[in-house]
Structure 1
Amino acid sequence: MKAAYYERQGKASEVLRLGEFPVTQPGAGEVRVRIHASGLNPSDIKARTGFSGGMSFPLVVPHQDGAGVIDAVGTGVDSARIGERVWLFEAQYLRAFGTAAEFVVVPSQQAVSLPDNVSYEVGACLGVPALTAHRCLFADGEIKGRAVLVHGGAGAVGTAAILLAKWAGAWVATTVSTPGQADAARRAGADVVIDRWREDVTTVVKAATGQRGVDRIVDVSVKENLEIDIGCLANGGVISAYAMGASDDQLSVNLLRAMIAGCGFRFVYIYTVPFTAKSAAISAISQCLAEGAYCPTIGLHLPLDAIVAAHEAQESGQVIGKIIIN
């Protein structure tokens, strides 16, 4: 099979290569999937550059998310799964081979049935973004009839959070930085779209919620947004942070303001979220898909041969929507 890989961490153009590898057989409890689409995430970039730690394996085929068709199963897996359309999550977590390849082997529970009316490209948009968004939104209770603020509503997790929150019956405000991002956030269903550079986020959110504030905040940069978050939060609300930059390893909190706000903090690293929570997320995501309510923005399609260009596009931050490797 053809696969992208790297044997050392560094710049995409310096370390990413294409090669031919044997097609492996699934072991006990595993399935093999012929990949139709692979989804690229910021965490894939962080792994390749060394931001999130050193090399766990001598050779890595990147990418956690993808979608395709099961073509073989290991012992203990029902052979009826052969031919099943699936979406994948955490394919490369604690494993050397991810979805940037023509085939991948994963534990059976990490290959989730993909409805016939959902494309492989949309399936490859799930995984990390959808599971992360669900955890941020629902870990502290149901959100039907509640108000949600999503920072960075045009990003992969931001878009997933808007889609899932609207599907669940919440009111959603989101922040963006450009007109193109605003369009993407509106397509996802956001009720209020706020230009973070031209508008006062707290004033807009408070006015739109009758001064009450929001019950959940899904934050891509909590260190940068903390003052805004506490200002926007309804009493007893929760701020869920799921990402950080290289200089964001410490967070200072004004304890008095946080106490007065009754503020809760949740930090989400999807790879270590308990599987029981992921299972609940998978059920919700599957229902959302089946109802036709999950329609993410796909910003760029590239072939596997263009893996370097795909990684560079992800790092540039200029692509609005998910980057998909076909």
Structure 2
Amino acid sequence: MKAAYIEAPGPPELIQYGELPTPEPKTTEVRVRIAASAVNPIDTYIRSGLVAANLPKPFIPGGDFAGVVDQVGGSVTRFKAGDRVWGSNQGMAGRQGTLAEYCCVDEQWVYPTPPDVPDVDAAAVALVGITAHLGLFNRTNLTAGETVFVNGGTGGVGSMVVQMAKAVGAKVITTVGSAEKAELARSFGADVVINYKTDDIPAVVKQATGGRGVEVLFETQPPSDFDKTIDLMAPRGRLVVMAGRAARPVFPNGPFYVKCLTMIGFAMFNFTADEQRRCADQINEWLAAGKLRASVGMTFPLSQAVAAHRLQEENTLKKAGTLSGKIIVTPHA
């Protein structure tokens, strides 16, 4: 099969494109003929060595996938050949990734694709959708009528947070960096869109909430100034942090406890297959009902995996601002 792979951790330019043996599914695995995979920041961290991992050699990066089951292991019960499926959680914990024509995946990490949902969309919502769902509902128990603030309402996780919060009847305030991104955020359902380059964020948030602040603040960027963050929050609000492995911001203890706030940190990969499947089930309901849509920023063929990883790093690490939505890689023409 064709695959994009590395022999050792390093920069994007170490990714090779060529032939590797087509994998055979183990007893609890399905083999998926991949139609689309998505690139996430964690994929680049693992590939570069920024996140230490015990990688098979050669190693195929990539966590997200969508495609068709073409073979199943002897103990598989949930799927059969011909089923359209999607999922995440590959390319880590010793598992090969998804930048290839085929990938063998344990059935616990696989979900059915709704009939009218394109493979590209299913792959694009995989990791970011499950992450947003865990943060909003497993960790903060968001309810109708509450107000959510999320940084970057057109980004991978941010666009999912906007749409999921609206799906359950919450009000959403988000930030963007351009007029074009503002229109996109509004199309996702955002009630208040703030241009962080030109607008006074605290003033807009206070006006939009009647001076109360937001009940849930979903921080998709590495936190740098908790004083400003806490000022945006309502009493007894919940602050979600899920980015910035190396961030070490000063923490304003007094304002935090006086407001009776809660800070919640989480990483998707610490949640069980059953917990993530519950997220996937609701994501499928929303996808099928048209309440959730993918945000795709750029698509590359598998042969250009180097360029796909480079673009992700430029926007994640260097803040280039040249990407809205997910990077998709398609193995087949």
SS of the aligned residue for 2:9 comes to coil
**Aligned-partner residue type, residue 28 of structure 1:** T
Unaligned ranges ≥5, structure 2: 316-321
- The one of 277, 289, 293 aligned to 1:279: 277
Give 2:230's aligned residue. Answer: 230
Give 1:321's aligned residue. Answer: 325
Give 1:4's aligned residue. Answer: 4
Describe the shift of the 1:225–1:189 C-alpha distance in structure 2 as closer, same or farther (beyond 3 A). farther
Offset of residue 88 of structure 1:
1.3
Within 2, Cα distance between the matches of 1:80 and 1:96? 20
TM-score, with normalisation over the residues of structure 1? 0.94
**Aligned-partner residue type, residue 301 of structure 1:** T
Describe the shift of the 1:225–1:288 C-alpha distance in structure 2 as closer, same or farther (beyond 3 A). farther
The total of aligned residue pairs comes to 323
Offset of residue 245 of structure 1:
5.7
Unaligned ranges ≥5, structure 1: none
Within 2, Cα distance between the matches of 1:240 and 1:4? 34
Give yes or no for contact 2:240–2:263 (8 Å, CA) kept in 1.
yes
Within 2, Cα distance between the matches of 1:256 and 1:222? 21
SS of the aligned residue for 1:81 comes to coil
Give yes or no for contact 1:149–1:172 (8 Å, CA) kept in 2.
yes
Within 1, Cα distance between the matches of 2:115 and 2:21? 30
Give yes or no for contact 1:298–1:324 (8 Å, CA) kept in 2.
yes
Alignment of 1:124-273 (within 5 A): 124-138=123-137, 139-244=139-244, 246=246, 248=247, 250-273=248-271
- The one of 290, 293, 316 aligned to 1:292: 290
Give yes or no for contact 1:180–1:320 (8 Å, CA) kept in 2.
no
Within 2, Cα distance between the matches of 1:75 and 1:22? 21
* Residue 121 (structure 1) aligned with residue 125 (structure 2): no
Within 1, Cα distance between the matches of 2:126 and 2:270? 14
Describe the shift of the 1:275–1:207 C-alpha distance in structure 2 as closer, same or farther (beyond 3 A). same
Give yes or no for contact 2:153–2:175 (8 Å, CA) kept in 1.
yes
Within 2, Cα distance between the matches of 1:281 and 1:79? 17
Offset of residue 167 of structure 1:
1.2
Describe the shift of the 1:97–1:245 C-alpha distance in structure 2 as closer, same or farther (beyond 3 A). same
Give 2:318's aligned residue. Answer: none
* Residue 91 (structure 1) aligned with residue 90 (structure 2): yes
TM-score, with normalisation over the residues of structure 2? 0.92
Cα RMSD (Å): 1.6
Give yes or no for contact 2:53–2:92 (8 Å, CA) kept in 1.
no
Within 2, Cα distance between the matches of 1:207 and 1:7? 54
Offset of residue 140 of structure 1:
2.3
Offset of residue 55 of structure 1:
4.8
Q: String of CA shifts for 1:201-252, please: whole Å, max 9, x gaps.
A: 1221111011121111111225225223211111111111111164x1x232
Q: String of CA shifts for 1:25-63, please: whole Å, max 9, x gaps.
A: 211211110000010101111111121125533321011
Give identity over the alignment, percent: 33
Within 2, Cα distance between the matches of 1:45 and 1:80? 30
Give yes or no for contact 1:32–1:73 (8 Å, CA) kept in 2.
yes
Give 2:319's aligned residue. Answer: none
Give yes or no for contact 2:99–2:329 (8 Å, CA) kept in 1.
yes
